[in-house]
Protein backbone atom coordinates (compact mmCIF):
# COMPACT_ATOMS: atom_id res chain seq x y z
CA UNK A 1 0.00 0.00 0.00
CA UNK A 2 1.40 3.43 -0.92
CA UNK A 3 2.44 5.81 1.83
CA UNK A 4 0.54 9.09 2.07
CA UNK A 5 1.56 12.72 1.91
CA UNK A 6 -0.88 15.07 3.62
CA UNK A 7 -1.30 18.40 1.85
CA UNK A 8 -2.91 20.97 4.12
CA UNK A 9 -4.43 23.89 2.20
CA UNK A 10 -5.18 27.14 4.00
CA UNK A 11 -6.26 30.64 3.04
CA UNK A 12 -8.99 32.25 0.96
CA UNK A 13 -8.46 32.03 -2.78
CA UNK A 14 -8.05 35.18 -4.83
CA UNK A 15 -10.20 35.88 -7.88
CA UNK A 16 -9.51 33.64 -10.89
CA UNK A 17 -7.59 31.11 -8.77
CA UNK A 18 -8.88 27.53 -8.61
CA UNK A 19 -7.97 23.88 -8.56
CA UNK A 20 -5.63 23.99 -11.56
CA UNK A 21 -3.59 26.81 -10.06
CA UNK A 22 -3.33 25.02 -6.73
CA UNK A 23 -2.15 21.75 -8.23
CA UNK A 24 0.37 23.44 -10.55
CA UNK A 25 1.74 25.30 -7.54
CA UNK A 26 1.92 22.07 -5.55
CA UNK A 27 3.72 20.23 -8.34
CA UNK A 28 6.21 23.09 -8.60
CA UNK A 29 6.99 22.51 -4.92
CA UNK A 30 7.10 18.71 -5.07
CA UNK A 31 8.68 18.16 -8.47
CA UNK A 32 7.59 15.52 -10.96
CA UNK A 33 8.69 12.66 -8.71
CA UNK A 34 8.29 14.20 -5.25
CA UNK A 35 5.30 12.00 -4.46
CA UNK A 36 6.49 8.92 -6.31
CA UNK A 37 4.17 5.94 -5.69
CA UNK A 38 2.51 7.73 -2.78
CA UNK A 39 -0.99 9.03 -2.16
CA UNK A 40 -1.55 12.77 -2.04
CA UNK A 41 -4.28 13.36 0.53
CA UNK A 42 -5.68 16.89 0.61
CA UNK A 43 -7.13 18.60 3.66
CA UNK A 44 -7.66 22.06 5.11
CA UNK A 45 -10.07 24.97 5.14
CA UNK A 46 -9.50 25.90 1.50
CA UNK A 47 -11.23 22.74 0.28
CA UNK A 48 -14.62 24.22 1.19
CA UNK A 49 -14.06 26.86 -1.51
CA UNK A 50 -13.44 24.28 -4.23
CA UNK A 51 -16.15 22.83 -6.45
CA UNK A 52 -16.17 19.16 -7.36
CA UNK A 53 -14.73 20.03 -10.76
CA UNK A 54 -11.82 21.83 -9.09
CA UNK A 55 -11.26 18.78 -6.92
CA UNK A 56 -11.35 16.48 -9.94
CA UNK A 57 -8.66 18.60 -11.57
CA UNK A 58 -6.42 18.44 -8.50
CA UNK A 59 -6.75 14.67 -8.19
CA UNK A 60 -6.36 14.23 -11.96
CA UNK A 61 -2.95 15.89 -11.86
CA UNK A 62 -1.62 14.18 -8.72
CA UNK A 63 0.19 11.75 -11.01
CA UNK A 64 2.20 14.66 -12.44
CA UNK A 65 4.02 14.74 -9.10
CA UNK A 66 4.59 10.99 -9.38
CA UNK A 67 1.71 10.11 -7.06
CA UNK A 68 -0.20 6.86 -7.28
CA UNK A 69 -3.42 8.76 -6.66
CA UNK A 70 -4.94 11.90 -5.19
CA UNK A 71 -7.64 11.79 -2.53
CA UNK A 72 -9.93 14.44 -1.07
CA UNK A 73 -12.05 13.05 1.80
CA UNK A 74 -15.77 13.45 1.04
CA UNK A 75 -17.68 16.33 2.61
CA UNK A 76 -20.98 18.12 2.03
CA UNK A 77 -19.83 19.31 -1.40
CA UNK A 78 -19.10 15.71 -2.35
CA UNK A 79 -22.43 14.42 -1.10
CA UNK A 80 -24.36 17.16 -2.90
CA UNK A 81 -22.59 16.20 -6.12
CA UNK A 82 -23.30 12.51 -5.58
CA UNK A 83 -26.95 13.28 -4.94
CA UNK A 84 -27.16 15.05 -8.30
CA UNK A 85 -25.58 12.19 -10.25
CA UNK A 86 -26.81 9.17 -8.24
CA UNK A 87 -29.49 10.00 -5.65
CA UNK A 88 -30.38 6.33 -5.16
CA UNK A 89 -26.86 5.57 -3.93
CA UNK A 90 -26.96 8.48 -1.48
CA UNK A 91 -30.35 7.37 -0.18
CA UNK A 92 -28.99 3.84 0.35
CA UNK A 93 -25.99 5.18 2.30
CA UNK A 94 -27.36 7.82 4.70
CA UNK A 95 -24.72 9.50 6.81
CA UNK A 96 -21.89 8.14 4.65
CA UNK A 97 -18.53 9.51 5.78
CA UNK A 98 -14.89 8.71 5.14
CA UNK A 99 -12.26 10.29 7.33
CA UNK A 100 -8.58 9.38 7.80
CA UNK A 101 -8.93 9.72 11.56
CA UNK A 102 -6.50 10.96 14.17
CA UNK A 103 -4.33 7.84 13.99
CA UNK A 104 -3.51 8.24 10.30
CA UNK A 105 0.22 8.06 9.58
CA UNK A 106 1.81 10.17 6.84
CA UNK A 107 5.26 10.05 5.29
CA UNK A 108 5.26 13.85 5.39
CA UNK A 109 2.95 16.84 5.67
CA UNK A 110 2.99 19.88 3.43
CA UNK A 111 1.33 23.15 4.36
CA UNK A 112 0.32 25.46 1.52
CA UNK A 113 -1.06 28.92 2.21
CA UNK A 114 -2.87 29.77 -1.01
CA UNK A 115 -4.20 33.17 0.09
CA UNK A 116 -1.58 35.02 -1.96
CA UNK A 117 -1.49 32.56 -4.85
CA UNK A 118 -2.14 34.13 -8.25
CA UNK A 119 -3.06 32.15 -11.37
CA UNK A 120 -0.24 29.69 -12.01
CA UNK A 121 1.30 28.50 -15.27
CA UNK A 122 3.66 25.61 -15.98
CA UNK A 123 6.36 26.55 -18.48
CA UNK A 124 8.11 24.11 -20.84
CA UNK A 125 9.00 21.33 -20.53
CA UNK A 126 7.67 20.00 -17.21
CA UNK A 127 4.46 20.42 -15.19
CA UNK A 128 6.75 21.23 -12.25
CA UNK A 129 8.20 24.30 -13.99
CA UNK A 130 5.59 26.55 -12.43
CA UNK A 131 5.43 30.34 -12.39
CA UNK A 132 2.91 33.01 -11.40
CA UNK A 133 1.16 34.27 -14.52
CA UNK A 134 2.66 37.72 -13.97
CA UNK A 135 6.14 36.34 -14.69
CA UNK A 136 5.14 35.05 -18.13
CA UNK A 137 3.02 37.88 -19.54
CA UNK A 138 5.40 38.55 -22.43
CA UNK A 139 5.09 35.00 -23.84
CA UNK A 140 3.33 35.19 -27.23
CA UNK A 141 1.11 32.32 -28.33
CA UNK A 142 0.34 30.61 -31.62
CA UNK A 143 -2.33 28.35 -30.16
CA UNK A 144 -4.53 27.95 -27.09
CA UNK A 145 -6.39 24.73 -26.22
CA UNK A 146 -9.21 24.59 -23.68
CA UNK A 147 -10.42 21.11 -22.75
CA UNK A 148 -9.21 17.58 -21.94
CA UNK A 149 -9.86 15.28 -18.99
CA UNK A 150 -8.16 17.86 -16.77
CA UNK A 151 -10.16 20.98 -17.63
CA UNK A 152 -12.87 20.19 -20.17
CA UNK A 153 -15.80 19.97 -17.77
CA UNK A 154 -18.89 22.15 -17.94
CA UNK A 155 -17.71 24.57 -15.24
CA UNK A 156 -14.38 24.94 -17.06
CA UNK A 157 -16.15 25.87 -20.29
CA UNK A 158 -18.46 28.21 -18.38
CA UNK A 159 -15.48 30.04 -16.89
CA UNK A 160 -13.69 30.28 -20.23
CA UNK A 161 -16.85 31.50 -21.97
CA UNK A 162 -17.38 34.19 -19.32
CA UNK A 163 -13.89 35.54 -20.02
CA UNK A 164 -14.13 35.48 -23.80
CA UNK A 165 -17.79 36.51 -24.24
CA UNK A 166 -18.12 39.55 -26.50
CA UNK A 167 -14.44 39.42 -27.43
CA UNK A 168 -12.43 38.01 -30.33
CA UNK A 169 -9.53 35.60 -30.46
CA UNK A 170 -6.33 37.50 -31.22
CA UNK A 171 -5.24 37.48 -34.86
CA UNK A 172 -2.35 35.09 -35.27
CA UNK A 173 -3.57 32.89 -32.41
CA UNK A 174 -5.73 29.78 -32.77
CA UNK A 175 -8.22 28.81 -30.06
CA UNK A 176 -9.42 25.21 -29.95
CA UNK A 177 -12.14 24.18 -27.48
CA UNK A 178 -12.65 20.49 -26.72
CA UNK A 179 -15.46 19.49 -24.32
CA UNK A 180 -14.47 16.50 -22.21
CA UNK A 181 -17.48 14.30 -23.04
CA UNK A 182 -20.54 14.19 -25.26
CA UNK A 183 -22.70 15.05 -22.24
CA UNK A 184 -20.56 18.10 -21.52
CA UNK A 185 -20.73 19.03 -25.22
CA UNK A 186 -24.54 18.94 -25.19
CA UNK A 187 -24.78 20.81 -21.89
CA UNK A 188 -22.36 23.50 -23.07
CA UNK A 189 -24.30 23.82 -26.31
CA UNK A 190 -27.60 24.20 -24.44
CA UNK A 191 -26.07 26.82 -22.14
CA UNK A 192 -24.79 28.85 -25.08
CA UNK A 193 -21.11 28.46 -24.23
CA UNK A 194 -20.24 26.89 -27.57
CA UNK A 195 -21.92 29.76 -29.42
CA UNK A 196 -19.78 32.17 -27.41
CA UNK A 197 -16.62 30.35 -28.45
CA UNK A 198 -17.60 30.16 -32.12
CA UNK A 199 -18.53 33.85 -32.19
CA UNK A 200 -15.09 34.69 -30.77
CA UNK A 201 -13.39 32.88 -33.64
CA UNK A 202 -12.60 29.64 -31.83
CA UNK A 203 -12.87 26.15 -33.27
CA UNK A 204 -15.02 23.75 -31.23
CA UNK A 205 -14.35 20.05 -31.77
CA UNK A 206 -15.96 16.81 -30.67
CA UNK A 207 -14.67 15.28 -27.41
CA UNK A 208 -11.23 13.79 -27.89
CA UNK A 209 -7.77 13.58 -26.34
CA UNK A 210 -6.57 14.95 -29.70
CA UNK A 211 -3.77 17.47 -29.28
CA UNK A 212 -3.07 16.57 -25.64
CA UNK A 213 -1.02 13.58 -26.78
CA UNK A 214 0.06 15.06 -30.09
CA UNK A 215 -2.49 13.00 -31.99
CA UNK A 216 -4.62 15.41 -34.06
CA UNK A 217 -6.83 18.52 -33.98
CA UNK A 218 -4.29 21.06 -32.82
CA UNK A 219 -0.84 19.52 -33.12
CA UNK A 220 1.85 22.20 -32.74
CA UNK A 221 4.30 22.76 -35.60
CA UNK A 222 8.03 23.33 -35.32
CA UNK A 223 8.78 26.53 -33.42
CA UNK A 224 5.18 27.15 -32.36
CA UNK A 225 4.21 28.10 -28.81
CA UNK A 226 1.03 26.82 -27.22
CA UNK A 227 -0.93 27.23 -24.00
CA UNK A 228 -3.23 24.43 -22.92
CA UNK A 229 -5.46 23.41 -20.03
CA UNK A 230 -4.18 19.84 -20.37
CA UNK A 231 -2.00 18.05 -17.82
CA UNK A 232 1.42 17.53 -19.43
CA UNK A 233 3.88 19.66 -21.37
CA UNK A 234 6.84 17.37 -21.96
CA UNK A 235 9.02 17.83 -25.04
CA UNK A 236 6.93 16.95 -28.10
CA UNK A 237 3.83 16.23 -26.05
CA UNK A 238 1.56 18.33 -28.27
CA UNK A 239 3.42 17.97 -31.52
CA UNK A 240 6.84 18.85 -32.87
CA UNK A 241 9.79 18.32 -30.48
CA UNK A 242 10.81 21.92 -31.14
CA UNK A 243 7.42 23.36 -30.17
CA UNK A 244 6.89 24.78 -26.67
CA UNK A 245 3.87 24.18 -24.46
CA UNK A 246 2.62 25.98 -21.34
CA UNK A 247 -0.14 24.74 -19.00
CA UNK A 248 -2.80 26.87 -17.29
CA UNK A 249 -6.36 27.09 -16.04
CA UNK A 250 -9.30 27.70 -18.41
CA UNK A 251 -9.58 31.31 -17.21
CA UNK A 252 -5.96 32.10 -18.06
CA UNK A 253 -6.26 30.20 -21.35
CA UNK A 254 -9.33 32.17 -22.44
CA UNK A 255 -7.79 35.52 -21.52
CA UNK A 256 -4.58 34.58 -23.31
CA UNK A 257 -6.48 33.64 -26.47
CA UNK A 258 -7.93 37.15 -26.54
CA UNK A 259 -4.59 38.94 -26.13
CA UNK A 260 -2.36 36.47 -27.98
CA UNK A 261 0.01 36.22 -25.02
CA UNK A 262 -0.09 34.67 -21.55
CA UNK A 263 -2.47 36.90 -19.62
CA UNK A 264 -4.10 37.24 -16.20
CA UNK A 265 -7.90 37.12 -16.69
CA UNK A 266 -8.30 40.40 -14.82
CA UNK A 267 -6.58 42.15 -17.74
CA UNK A 268 -9.43 41.10 -20.02
CA UNK A 269 -12.51 41.01 -17.82
Beta bridge partners of 120: 132
Q: How many helices (H) and strands (E) does the chain have?
A: 9, 11
Q: What is the pLDDT of residue 15?
A: 96
CA atoms within 13 A of residue 140's CA, in its CB half-sphere:
7
* SS3 annotation, 192-231: CHHHHHHHHCCEECCCCCHHHHCCCCCCECCCCEEEECCC
φ, ψ of residue 93 in degrees (nearest 5): -130, 60
Record the pTM.
Answer: 0.95
pLDDT in tens, 89-132: 989 988 777 888 888 999 999 999 999 999 999 999 999 999 99
Q: What is the pLDDT of residue 215?
A: 84
Q: What is the pLDDT of residue 184?
A: 96
Domain ranges of the chain: 4-113, 120-267
Q: What is the pLDDT of residue 214?
A: 87
pLDDT tens digits in sequence order for the chain, 269 residues long: 889 999 999 999 999 999 999 999 999 999 999 999 999 999 999 999 999 999 999 999 999 999 999 999 999 999 999 999 999 998 998 877 788 888 899 999 999 999 999 999 999 999 999 999 999 999 999 999 999 999 999 999 999 999 999 999 999 999 999 999 999 999 999 999 999 999 999 999 999 988 888 888 899 999 999 999 999 999 999 999 999 999 999 999 999 999 999 999 999 99
- In CATH, which superfamily holds the domain spanning 4-113? Aconitase, Domain 2 (3.40.1060.10)
Q: Which of 228, 217, 219 is nearest to 147 (CA)?
A: 228
Q: Domain 120-267 belongs to what architecture?
A: 2-Layer Sandwich (3.30)
Per-residue exposure over 190-213, b if at least 16 CB sit within 10 Å of its own CB, e if not: eeebbebbeebbbebbebbebbbe
Contact predicate 207/189, CB 8 Å = no
Amino acid sequence: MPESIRVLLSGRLQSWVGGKDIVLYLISRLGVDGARYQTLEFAGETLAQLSMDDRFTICNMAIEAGAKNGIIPPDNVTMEYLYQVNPDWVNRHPGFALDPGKKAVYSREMKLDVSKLEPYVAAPDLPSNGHPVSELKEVKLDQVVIGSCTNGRLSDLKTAASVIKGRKVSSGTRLIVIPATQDVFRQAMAAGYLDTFVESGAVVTTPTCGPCLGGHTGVLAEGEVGLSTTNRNFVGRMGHPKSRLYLSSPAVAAASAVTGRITHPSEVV
